Amino acid sequence: MTGLSITGAKRFAAGLALAAAAFACGASAAAPEVEARPPEGANLFVYRVDAQPNRLGVHLWIDLKKVATIRHKRWTALKVLPGPHLIQLRWPSGLGQTNSERIVTIFPDQAYYFEVYGRTGWGSDMVNGGETRMRACCRYTPAK
């Protein structure tokens, strides 16, 4: 004997049916995904068109604080106060990648675009259509 009476089996089947109905309603009633937007007044944009290795993200640090991880074909935006800032790109350890850093002086009312490229580098693209190239290649990921 299985231990379930006919009445118990009917109750069990009814419970399964209710659970399935609740799951189906919950799955169809999910809220639509809202597209993330860069912060208001963002002035520093970092994007990654095709930097190796593609499967791992490079970590963006500003003034010794990790602010974002940028993956392949992604970009991020930050609002950075005017003045000099230490900006670093740090790869996960053990990859043989070379981390890099530079001091960037942020001026009011100016946007800065930096592309992460190759295995070790990154470059400024402020005057050569950085925003156009960034938006054409990449999807926005909020800084964390």
Residues in the chain: 144
d(CA 35, CA 128): 27
Does residue 98 or residue 67 have the better pLDDT? 67
Per-residue pLDDT, averaged over 33-52, amounts to: 81
Does residue 71 or residue 16 have the better pLDDT? 71
Please state the pTM of the whole predicted model.
0.69
User: Hey, what are 138's tokens?
Assistant: 């990449």
Best CA proximity match to 48, nearest among 17, 84, 89: 89
pLDDT digits (tens, 9 = 90+) for 71-92: 989 999 999 999 999 999 888 8
